[in-house]
Chains A and B, each alone.
Chain A
């Protein structure tokens, strides 16, 4: 592992300045994609992928170590995370020859993928998807609407969930289908978020025809395929937790060093957050250790997701509070942006209420309502 990280540091010390010189402070989508392309060529962005897909075939712990080094180097965010972490592993597992060709292009950002799961009527109740994929001859005819599609505005392709059997029970009649966003009948509209950005979009489908070959995994088994996708980033939540712990440590160091007087109440709030961050960090490390030893974490994921989302929201609330009036005058834009953006932590990828339902139903075996 040490050799690997040394190789990475050498690579970064060469690549990062080159990228910075080329883009000169520009952090546009194109600039970020260029960075991902370099990271994929170096086989760093794709380190977890098998060698035949241009990866290094590394395990979770090595990949996390790589991500830590990359993050510490001040490198920009990788834009195609959904493709790298969720879609590509699903394509490798369920895709046919043609679909698997996309994997390499996902690494290089020649293709940018989004996940079209949620709909206006299917959010927490995801199995309620209504977008229809009617089988006509050797084509699916897709009609309906997707919403909250992250990367929707930049995406070239989508992994879509559509109802292919309207007569089957909820979870049984859904299929996963891949398609190009340029297919006639696909219309993408940006959705402006509370933080002013437009990272997600809504996508409309009107008589969109795609070949049956675009089916991903078995027919009507889209629910299973999707759950596998969502399960791929098992370690992801632990990584978020570790970063949050670091962030809270950093925030407290800054406050301690700064010369703004804080009230005893705020000092206690910070100490309370510190305690929770340390406990969350311990939980995350223990989960990663379990993975490193070949174990499969189960309920830890849900617990860490729940604790992480609430604590990360709280940090931004405290930062906003520390900013005082500057938080609302635009003088401390970062604090306000952080605060607004943090609202999504308890909504995206399963709301906190739903996570509590999952723990209650599946972990504790409580009766469903």
Chain B
């Protein structure tokens, strides 16, 4: 693949080695231009005006939804615009969850979930007198079929699972999870926040019930996200937020809801963000999945290989680059992750340090915190070399023999 750095204005600064795409991605110029162009040529309150300009805003919103549906392999009406993956998951917990989970029921949650696919289920369970039951990774950081079978049972109402963990970077056996969940009449809430940027998705083929993702990890602006829900499910669910735009009619003593998906989009939505999301999707489609996956797999392999050669580094989860997407979490012996991140920062290398919003997983790994390097389409071999070069010096810099 051609080098993409120059497509991204922020990365034209060659001293910057941005390896924190899993937290949020950078944006290509075409996305920034699309947002600007929308506000310069098409901005009005969508769905609320009869004049021509308002129609342009409505069209921009509809076209963005259509682009996302094509990208994810589902129907337009099955996609709800939200602010981010967190809001998407909460929407399901507050609406589907409120009417479908009762005392004695169980919610199966992978312990490696991001807090956003865990805490809403804890709260729902508490409210309803249901139980959260955790699934655990094996010693290689993998979720096995046996573990799925151990936890998913007749009482399970929902299975919460990230397709790719934001810490371990490993692909979960989602097809198996969906099959087992459906066998017992449960639904699956798939968190695609970390998978959607790195692999093609086809939600209909996959057969999941709900899926959540965030635009800002996908080269789109912050503040725009998506919830996918199977039409029958969305159609049967009560609304989430209520007010303008989500109704078909309102009387003094009641209201009727708009059709799916607008039933779930109360108030004026972020059309600028939607337009940016569409531009980001089209940018990725133009690059093509084959080129993206090949490039990212190459960087992953290069990086893991280089890390294995540095003494005192522990990588979490199976270090096989073939089933790892986007992220490498690790620790440097004796050195706190925040010190590692500060030391790398001095060389312009941006990595994340902390608990990565996955504290129960950190507890399981017995570490509390770790460092994480993550990739996007714009990263280069030079970024990986700078990271490795900087990482090599961390221990001696802090006064430890290597």
Asked if A and B are interacting partners, one says no
Interface residues of B (CB under 8 A from A): none
